[in-house]
Structures are given as structure tokens and as C-alpha cells.
Amino acid sequence: MVMPAEIPRAEPGFEAAEAPSRDLHERLNAGGPEREAAVVELHALLLKAARFEVNRRRDSLPHLRGGDHEDLAQQSADDALLAVLAKLDQFRGESRFTTWAYKFALLEAGVKVRRRAWQGREIPLEDEAWAVLADARRGVAHETETRDLIAALGEEIERSLSAHQRAVLVAVTLNDVPIDVLAERLGSNRGALYKTLHDARRKLRVALAERGLGVDGNDRPEER
């Protein structure tokens, strides 16, 4: 693993060049000093994006001090740099190279901020979700259709889903646990947990449709 200390950093005040981003991609694929300079330039771009993201999400990190935000941005830029350099051959030129690279920094920073915001917090128990559903039912006590739909939804969450599907669906959709945080706690990843969530949602739609409570009218029992 490349340690952050080995990652080339720009001098303070360095601004990414205004040269066309395709040039940067080409220079990253070159060798020698030209590539080294391009890597420094790329890191500066990624740091700009990471700082932007950390700053956007500053409200979710009220317990952090100013230096902690910069540390998060630096770590995000360092990790994004490694990811971008490892995937350079996957850039197809369908967007500007800078746009393609930025998304790696934003992803790293977003995940780090969400995980830091949940550091030391337990994942809420499923009981909290049942309380949410109960409150929702009480809130629409006079709206029979919606009340019955919410009640049936709760029943099908308990009845139709596997334990893993229920845990993921309840945490992410009812208890507002960020999927990246849940993935870290479960030793999984965003894509795998979203697939679980997607399958759980399909099951719920089909189950509700079988009870005559389909939401959009497009769910068929044979989809199960």
C-alpha cells in the first residue's frame, strides 16, 4: 500500500493548470518528470474536489475541529489519487478528464464524512423502525387507504423479507443509516447492500400487489 507520505503534493498556493484536461490524461500516461508533474497536478484537482465535498457536509460533523476537516479532505484526495491512477485505462473520454477524476474524490470524501459522522454511534435497532411506522399510521388515521398501506407494509417487511433483507431495508430506509456506514459495519460494500435493498423492495411491491395494494400498478406476482 502506498503511504500518504509517498503521495506527491503540490506546493502551497499551487493551482491546477488551465490546460485542457485531455492533456492531463495524456501526461499521466507519459513517463518521467512529465508524469510526476501531472500526478502533482491531479492531486491538486482531487484535493479541490475533496475540500468542496467536506465543506458541503460540514454540518454533519459538528464535533470536528477545523484541522480535522482538512485532514479528511487530504485523506480523501490521497485515496482518490490512488484510485484514479489505478483506473486510468478505464477513462474513455466520454466526459472531461477532470470531471471523471472529480467523482473519485467526491466519492471518497462523501464516504469518509458519512462514516465519521456515525463514528461511535450504534446502528438503530429495528424496534425504532416499527415506532416510525406506528407514528406514520397514527398521523394518517383518518386516511384509510394510506393507513392500511403503511400497516400492510410493516407486516410484509416482517413476513416477506429474509433477515438480512429486513435489516438492510429497515436501517437504510426507515432508520436513515447511510448505506456506506452500514456497509462498513457489515463488512460489505455499497453495491452489494443496494442489490439487497433492491431485491427487498421488489419483494415488498409484489407482496403488496398480491394484497391489492400495489403502489404503481406495475408489479406482478411472477416477478417474485
Partner 1 sequence: MNQPHDRTDPARILARTLGPDGPELSCEECFAQLDRYVELELAGGDADGAVPGMRSHLAGCPACDEDHESLLSLLGTE
**Binding footprint of partner 1 on the chain (CB under 8 A):** 49, 52-53, 56-57, 59-60, 94-96, 99-100, 102-103, 106-107, 110, 114, 132-133, 135-136, 139-140, 146, 149-150, 153, 157, 169, 172-174, 176, 178-180, 190-191, 194-195, 197-198, 201, 204-205, 208, 215-216, 218-219
CA dist 202 and 55 (Å) reads 36
Cβ 96 to partner 1, closest distance in Å?
7
Cβ 32 to partner 1, closest distance in Å?
28
Closer to partner 1 by Cβ: residue 78 or 100: 100
Closer to partner 1 by Cβ: residue 36 or 86: 86
Closer to partner 1 by Cβ: residue 8 or 194: 194
Cβ 207 to partner 1, closest distance in Å?
11
CA dist 8 and 4 (Å) reads 9
Cβ 218 to partner 1, closest distance in Å?
5
Closer to partner 1 by Cβ: residue 27 or 57: 57
Closer to partner 1 by Cβ: residue 26 or 223: 223
Cβ 129 to partner 1, closest distance in Å?
9
Write the secondary structure of the chain as one string of H (helix), E (strand) and C (coil): CCCHHHCCCCCCCCCCCCCCHHHHHHHHCCCHHHHHHHHHHHHHHHHHHHHHHHHHCHHHCCCCCHHHHHHHHHHHHHHHHHHHHHCHHHCCCCCCHHHHHHHHHHHHHHHHHHHHHCCCCCCCCHHHHHHHHHHHHHHCCCCHHHHHHHHHHHHHHHHCCCHHHHHHHHHHHHCCCCHHHHHHHHCCCHHHHHHHHHHHHHHHHHHHHHCCCCCCCCCCHHHC
Cβ 36 to partner 1, closest distance in Å?
25
Closer to partner 1 by Cβ: residue 28 or 110: 110
